Amino acid sequence: MADAFTLRPIGKVVRNDHAVLQIDVPYRPALAHLADFSHVVVLWWVSGHDDPQSREIMQCELPYAPGFEAGVFACRSEYRPNPIGVTVCPILDVDEAEGRVTVADIDAFDGTPLLDLKPYIGVTDRVREIIQPPWFDDWPQWLPDEGLGL
């Protein structure tokens, strides 16, 4: 097993009226037929927490469960040994020529480096029955179609 990996950003998040995944020129051919899907799984680098201190944090207080602390593998915290974020986004538009994937929303900041895009495929990505901890009891079952407006 390798001790280190080399990742190359494929683009970045651009925030204006909508969230746009701006894909760099060499990777634009990879957008072919992405528009045939309703959602995209976006993997992104949590660049604002790519420092030794953030990478060493293994537990944190949950912003949606005040007073409760969990391990970073049990939450979507920005603190991670490898600061990789993941978001499933509704696709609003794909412009292959310009390398723009407009999405309803993404929980990443403007300028965030993109690592990969994968189509959301119901048969493999959807889970019929889930178990989740009580701190999610007040959350809706589904995100609104328009996203959260982050």
**CATH label of the domain that carries residue 13:** 2.40.30.70
Predicted pLDDT at 97 = 98
**45 with 85: CB under 8 angstroms?**
yes
User: Which residues share a beta bridge with 70?
Assistant: 60
Residue ranges making up the domain that contains 103: 7-46+84-120
Q: How many domains does the chain have?
A: 2
**87 with 107: CB under 8 angstroms?**
yes
> Would 92 be classed as within a structural domain?
yes
What pTM did the predictor assign?
Answer: 0.89
Nearest CA-CA partner of 117 in 49, 23, 48? 23
Mean pLDDT for all residues in the chain: 91
Nearest CA-CA partner of 17 in 108, 144, 103? 103
**Residue 150 pLDDT grade (very low, low, confident, very high; cuts 50, 70, 90):** low
Nearest CA-CA partner of 8 in 23, 18, 20, 19? 23
